[in-house]
Structure 1
Amino acid sequence: MNKITKIEALRGFVAIYVTFAHVFHDRSYALAEYNFIWNYGDLGVAIFFIISGFVIQLSYERSTDKSFKPYFFKRFFRIYIPLIFVFIANYFVQLIEFGVEGFTIPRLITNLLMLQNTNSPDSIFAPLFNNGPLWSLAYEWWYYMIFFVIINKIKDKTKTSAIIYSLGIISSILYQFYPVFIVQLMIDMVIWWFGVDLARLYLSNKKISFINLKYPLLVLLASVLIITFTEPTEGKEFLFNTHLWRGLFAICVGLLWYKANWKFFDKTIGLFLPFASVSYVVYISHWFLVHEATFLHFLFGRSRLVYLVYFVICLIFSYLVEKVIYPKLNKFFMSKIFPLKNRNT
C-alpha cells in the first residue's frame, strides 16, 4: 500500500470511527464493555483536518490551472452537491420519526453560507437539523478559501506557514476573551495547515520527520498550552484544549508510525480503504441516519442490531450519493461552467 493509499485508508477509518464514537459514547446499553474505546471522536476530526490540508496542497500543486474559478467550483460542487442531498434526507428522516427539529430559514441560510458552529441548539448559527458534525464542514470550507488567498498573495511558502501559525497563536490568546467564530476557526487552522506543510515535504521529496516539522509542532504545542493553562471564560462553546491536545497526539503517533515504516498498517487501518470513497457523506449523514435514528426501533428496540442496520443504511445512502449522484451532477455542472477547458484542476 503506497503513501497516498494509506491516507485514503486513514480517511475511511476515521469516518467509521467517528460514526461509532458518536453512537456508542453515551450509550452504555449498546456497547458498555467497550465504552472507553469511543471517547476520542474529536481526535478523528483533527485527523480529518490534517488529511484535508495535505490533499488540498497536493491537488493544488498538481493542477494545471491554478486560477480561482476552477479551484472554487471544484470544491464548491464537492462540498455542496452531497450536502444538499444530506439536507433533504435529514428533513424526511426527521419528518418520519418525530417532526422536524433544528430547521429555520435563517439557520438554513447560515449553513449554506458555511457559518455554522458549535453553538447552542437555539442559535441560528448552529448546524442545520442539529446535525452536530456539520460545524467542522464550515471550518473546512473557509480553510479552502483562506488557503487559496494566502498562497496566491504570498509566494514564499515559509511566509505563508509563518502567517497561519502566528494567527493561530494570537487566536489562542484572544479565545480567552473573544470566543467567536473567526478566532475558533484560526485556532484549528494550525492543525489543518500542518497537513499543508506535510504535503510540501512529500512533494519536495524531503524527509518527513519531527525535525523538519518542528515549527508547526511547536506552534501547536504553544496553542495547546496557552488554552489549557488560561482561566476559562464564560461563553466558550468548544473545548479547544482537548481538541488540540488530541491533534498533537495524532501527529506524534503518525510520525512515529511513519518512522517505523507503517508496521502493521495494512492489516489494521488499511482494512478501511474501501470506506474512503464514501467517507465524506458517512461523516455528514451518520448523525441522523445512525446516531439519532429511531425509525427502526419498533422492529429491533434499542439494541446493537438496530445500530448495525442503521449503519448499513448509512453506507448505502453514502454510496448512492458519493458514487452515483455526485459524479453525474458534478460532471454536468462542470461541463456547463467549463465547456472547453481541461477540468483536471
Structure 2
Amino acid sequence: MSTSYVQTQSLPDFDLWQKKREKHSLISFTLEITARCNNNCRHCYINLPEDDQKAKAEELTFEEIKHIVDQAVDLGAVWCLITGGEPLLREDFEEIYLYLKRKGLLVSVFTNATLITQKHIDLFKKYPPRNLEVTVYGITQQTYTAVTRKPELFSSFKDGIDRLLQNKIPVDLKNVTIKANLEEFATIAAFCRKHSNAPFRFDPLLHLRFDRDEKQNEEIRNQRLTPEEIAVLECSDKVRFSALTKNCDKLVLSDRIKPEKPYLFTCGAGLSDFVVSYNGNYRLCSSLWHPDCMQDLRNTSVSEAKTSLTSKIRNMQTDSRDFLEKCGVCPLINFCIWCPAHAYLETGVLELACSYFCEVAERRYGNLTYGSIKKDYLNTEKTYYLTSD
C-alpha cells in the first residue's frame, strides 16, 4: 500500500481553516499593541500622536499581552496579527513578537516601515513572520508628504523598504488610495507589483474616526474619492475588475427579502477571530468600536468575552426602518462597505444607512454592467522606482 504526503500547501488552502470555521473554533486574533503612530496620515481612522502620553499609559503591558496570548492559544488560535498605530513604536516589540513565535503562532505584522532597523532585519531573518505588510502612501517625497504630513520620514520609509528587499524578507506592499495620492496611483501600483511578495491590493474606501474626532473626520471626508473615481480606479485594475466581473451575478442578491428576525450582524465577525485594542478591549472586528460592543480583557477572560460578547452582538436585532427598508434588504449590499460597524463610525448609530456607501455601490454595479470607462489611471507598461525628486 502506498501512502502519499503533502510536502507543501498554501496556508489559505489548508483544510484546517474550514474545519475550524465550521465549528466556530478560534483561528486567529489581532493585537493592536498601540494606537500611536509616527506618521499623521490624513485618512487614518485610528492613529494617535507618537508622543500621546495618555494613549501610551493606557497600552497593554507586555505581561498583560502575554496573558491574552496564552488564553488565545489555549482556545486554539494559530495565527496572530500585530498592528497599531505603528507597532514598532513599542520599545518591547521584539519581546512581544518573540513571545508569539515561541507560542507556536503564525505571526503577521503591519508596519509603515519607517522604523525598520538592522535589529528588526536580524529578528525577521532569524524568526520569519508569516507576512509583513507595508502600505505605500507615495513613492515621491511630495506625495508621501501629502498623505502622511511627515516629510522627514520619507527617507526613513525608503530605507526601511530597501532594507527589507535587500535582505530578501518577504513583504506585501499595498496602498490606501486617497485624493492626496490619486495622481500617483499608477506609479505606486507598478512599484508594489514589482517588489511585493503578494498580489497588489489597494483600498479606496475610507472610514471615519474611532474616537469620533470631528476635525479629523472632516479631513477624511475631504480625502475620500468620489464614487465615480472609485469605480474608474477599480475598473482600471485588470485583476480587480476581472474578479468583480466574474462574481458580479453572485454578489447581487436578487432574491433578498426581509428577514424574519432583523439581526444586525450577519457576517462572520467574532466566530473564529477577535481583535484586542491597544487599551485591552475585546472586539469582534477591527472596525467595531461601539461602546456596547466591547469588553475589557483586564476584567474578564478571553473565553468569557468570546462567549458572552459574541452571543450578545450576534443576537442584536433592530426595528429601525432605515435598516429594515434600506441596507437590510438591499440587493447591492455586497458592492457596498455597509455593516453595523462601519455605520457606527460613519453616523454614530449601528443601524443607519450611509449615502456615500450607497453611491459607491450603485456606481460599482453600474460600471460592471453598463458603464464605459474613459479614464485609465493604471499603466503597467512602465517601471517605477522610489525617488526623492
TM-score relative to the length of structure 2:
0.29
Higher strand share: 2
The structure that is helix-richer by fraction is 1
Based on CA coordinates, which of the two structures has the bigger radius of gyration?
A: 2
TM-score normalised to the size of structure 1? 0.32
